Chain A
């Protein structure tokens, strides 16, 4: 058996790949569910019911999907330009911290929409700044950004811990390590009454549209795609490589920072060190399942959110540990990487 490169990447295969990857992943995880003593069909049915079985379930799934869309977009934008940003988690926390810190008291005099816009912008700037460092290190000294961005995550989360135990600690929280809340008037309005689903979803969808336009229609987008696909040819054609990389870093970090901001402005209202159940890392899976396409990110984020919300309900109903969600997500990432291989190569005997 050998691999033979296809003459051209097959577009239908590219469209089918994520679905195939998800099916393969569900099939493989069925084995684990059987091992836990439950019929996989029952388990998956419970999972679907948990994610879409009621009005509350649906809103909860989309509440989860909102930050995932943004972190997925952050990863997709960076990966397209071959900037391996693994630091989405840290950038998200940084954005969340800035929103909580500034939103608690400082912007009280401004009209709410303006204040919210300022908070989001500040959080994006914080996320961007956090990724600008590793990007600059790579440009100047060739430091591998996979390592730096990954390690930054731990530093940032420890920093968040420091802040919520110290300067930003909420004195009204009965000693719990959580930050001061954002002013009530600045919280994002609900999209569906009596649910946690908030306007942040629309912000995320708007970001998808903006990223799509930037990538597919602007000079910067064309240059950054060229730089990602063939850096030597892009440099030869006069694409300013350093500047393009820095701009991509700012865009990617900013999107992850925005994810943190809408989490605080939306469902939680304050920051804790377990604000994110790994949204930043899951964003990488979302980006890959979307084959790095901004529009695909929406579907992939909804899938990942479905698995997470559904797994909790399934766990309660059947006793299968909810860790199965992490397994499904991880296996689907591996399956997707394999599937992507088959869009460029075919197997010959």
Chain B
């Protein structure tokens, strides 16, 4: 057997009382794609940061081609041929692709920079690995998929032979993700070895040769991809069987929220174009689409953050087109924002203040301008209990919650008010399997109790599992709704490509 290109031997890393990696050993073979699978918080990113030298392990060593890497030195890792593509890109938006790629690989004090040579090098990489990039484009103008390609080229330009991709598809739409995997295949054929980190089962199945499953900081299993299946991996990853709930057919009531001809511009661009939709009592309406097709504008209008140019929005027949967020909340509209860190919570405030912030001015939580702190804290404690928000008390700073628990807090404060209408904008993005199942179950329970829910999702499985009817959003336009039982993958794919526009009613 040939020597592995990369070995991690008995790595242990603790943060205070928390053991992020516990005696982890794994190896990577030449020309192989290894998937590192685990839930959020399983220790995947920590492990890769140790490998790359961002963190120093408390115990254990990293070997590249048999030679031990000095710990805590990213430079040494780069010199040994390890390249890392982070989940959050580290590119400067105001520089060109070329500048971003050569930045840091040239000595600072050299008066000129060797652009011609770099240009040729990038062109060579693009040809060899099928990674076309325009060296003169400004990074700020590129799509996320293109930016990721730049990150990969940047790593290869530094002679990486081992590539680590941290959640590479988190920001990509499905076709982009599939293209990425094809590219990775080509790269291993060219002699590179790749580790990619993921918590998405279908990706791991589609793209890897071998899977290492991490749970609670430990390696719990290793499988050849060809000899395992998604169900087994899911169980290994979560440690128990997780079944995402599915909707059961039930009768829907009268219309609750209706949008008619809604047109919204966002930063000068048309975000939403004459959109029509109706959400009924006890119904989940799914809006699917490739990201960047107007979902953000739709979310902003329904949250009260954007005023439409034209069109109307009515709640039980009452015009709510131009109401501010606070008025919408008062009328019983719940809103789950797209980005829970940026819009959902104020991270530096305690859980209890975030639990009541939206309804601070209602008599429930304030009297004569003073906050009713005892009531607010008791309310937060009930949310924590009822929605199983773990690792938190009312006084915990909200930033310390994991993504899933933060989302349960946001979901909880909305559902506790028993909203007539609930906007759920990407409610499970970035969550792990256990949290996704919990959020889905809560949404379905609210629907069964009569809430009208508008679900905006880029995850087709999610939309199909929850929605009673589905509309696609393409360039700000909404398709006709399709009942869920007629929305197979092919139909949805065509709808998301905008094909409904040429065909007559489906």
Contact = CB atoms under 8 A, between A and B. Distances in A.
A230 B343 CA distance: 8
B353 A226 contact: yes
Contacts of A348: 56, 72
A234 interface: yes
B337 A223 contact: no
Given A230-B347, A233-B344, A236-B337, A222 B325 contact: no
A319 interface: no
B399 A8 contact: yes
15 contacts: A7-B400, A9-B348, A217-B370, A218-B369, A219-B366, A229-B346, A233-B343, A234-B357, A236-B303, A236-B335, A236-B343, A238-B304, A238-B327, A238-B329, A240-B324
Contacts, number: 77
Contacts of B325: 235-238
B360 interface: yes
B305 A236 contact: yes
B249 interface: no
Given A7-B15, A225-B349, A230-B346, A218 B371 contact: yes
B10 interface: no
A219 B361 contact: yes
Contact of A219 (B342, B360, B399): B360
B425 to A, nearest CB: 11
Contacts of A240: 324, 326
B370 A232 contact: no
B19 to A, nearest CB: 14
B350 to A, nearest CB: 11
A220 interface: yes
A7 B344 CA distance: 19
A128 B56 CA distance: 52
B146 interface: no
Given A222-B357, A236-B325, A348-B56, A230 B400 contact: no
B358 A238 contact: yes
A229 B15 contact: no
A8 to B, nearest CB: 6
A234 B346 CA distance: 7
Interface of B: 15-16, 56, 72, 303-305, 324-329, 335, 337, 342-349, 353, 357-358, 360-361, 366, 369-371, 373, 397, 399-400
Interface of A: 7-9, 217-220, 222-223, 225-226, 229-230, 232-240, 348-349
A8 B343 contact: no
A233 B371 CA distance: 19
Contact of B357 (A7, A226, A349): A226
Q: Secondary structure of the A side of the interface?
A: helix
Contacts of B361: 219
The listed residue with most A CB atoms (<10 A of its CB), out of B329, B335, B353, B360, is: B360
B344 A236 contact: yes
A186 B369 CA distance: 34
B72 A219 contact: no
Contacts of A8: 397, 399-400
Contacts of A7: 15-16, 400
A138 B423 CA distance: 32
**Top-9 shortest CB links A-B:** A238-B326, A238-B325, A236-B343, A230-B346, A237-B357, A237-B358, A229-B348, A226-B346, A219-B366
A229 B345 CA distance: 10
A233 B326 contact: no
Nearest to A220: B369
Contacts of B342: 230, 232-233
A219 B371 contact: yes
Given A226-B357, A233-B343, A238-B324, 4 more contacts: A230-B342, A234-B357, A236-B305, A240-B326
Contacts of B16: 7
B369 A219 contact: yes
The listed residue with most B CB atoms (<10 A of its CB), out of A222, A235, A240, is: A222
A226 B352 CA distance: 13
A222 B15 contact: no
A328 to B, nearest CB: 31
The listed residue with most B CB atoms (<10 A of its CB), out of A218, A238, A239, is: A238
Contacts of B72: 348-349
